[in-house]
Structure formats: structure tokens, C-alpha cells
Amino acid sequence: MPRDVHNPETLFNSLQYGFSQIAVATGSRIVTISGQVGWDAAQNLIGSGDLRAQTFQAFHNLELAAKTINSGLDDIVSLRIYIVASEMDDSTPVSEALKQFFPENPPTSTWIGVPRLADKNFLIEIEALAIL
């Protein structure tokens, strides 16, 4: 799926945080991927109390989900990232993961601070929109 990203100079430099300001995609299928957390396939939490470990596991889970539909991270055009509010002051691990999983032409991204997630031990949840 062709995806063009734009980061105009009239907006702040979002690339330093690992996401683009605008993504334009064309395709014939819209895919939504439910919020992914730091669980592995057996529902073991990877990185209890560790935002970095949970973030990298959640992105790994997104990658696995995309592969099951013969897709990949390059098809993701937008992310919605929910971070427990107490972790928002140092969300550097989120930027690091974005840059690692999307080294070129990253998708758009909205980060939302929330009081808590479905499980009190979750620190982050990431949902995605892809165009195939």
C-alpha cells in the first residue's frame, strides 16, 4: 500500500518523537488492530512496572497482528497510544520504540494520558489503523 508522510515546517518536528504529522494512504481495505499491551500470547505481562518493556512488547504484538493478515508495520497509517498518566512525564521509551519499529516514514500518532487501563498493571496500550 502506498503511504506518503508529510512533516511540514509549519508544524513542530514530530520526527524527533518517532511519528509523522500527516500520513496519506490509498488502498482497498481498512484494518483496525485492537489495543495491544505488554502481554505475551500466554497473557504474561512483560515488564511489570516497566514502561519501556511493555511498550516494546505492545509494538511487537502490533507487528504480529499485522503479519497474521499478510500485512506489516508499513501499512499502519495511524496509532492511538494510551499511556497511564503517571508515566507521561517520561515517555521517552515510547519515542524509542516508535523510532525502532518505524525507522522510516512513521505513521501519525496521538498519545493520550489515562488514569488507568483495563488491567491495573498495564502502563500502555496501542491501537492501530492500517490501509491495505
Average pLDDT taken over every residue of the chain: 94
Spatial contact of 4 and 106, defined as CB atoms under 8 Å apart: no
Write b or e for each residue in 62-92: b if 16 or more Cβ atoms lie within 10 A of its Cβ, otherwise e. beebbeeeebebebbbbbebbbbeebeeebe
The superfamily (CATH) of domain 3-131 is: RutC-like (3.30.1330.40)
pTM above 0.75, yes or no: yes
Relative to beta strand 124-131, strand 30-36 is: antiparallel
**pLDDT tens digits for range 100-122:** 999 999 999 999 999 999 999 99
**Distance separating alpha carbons of residues 8 and 10, to the nearest angstrom:** 5
Domain ranges of the chain: 3-131
What pLDDT is stored for residue 25 in this prediction?
83
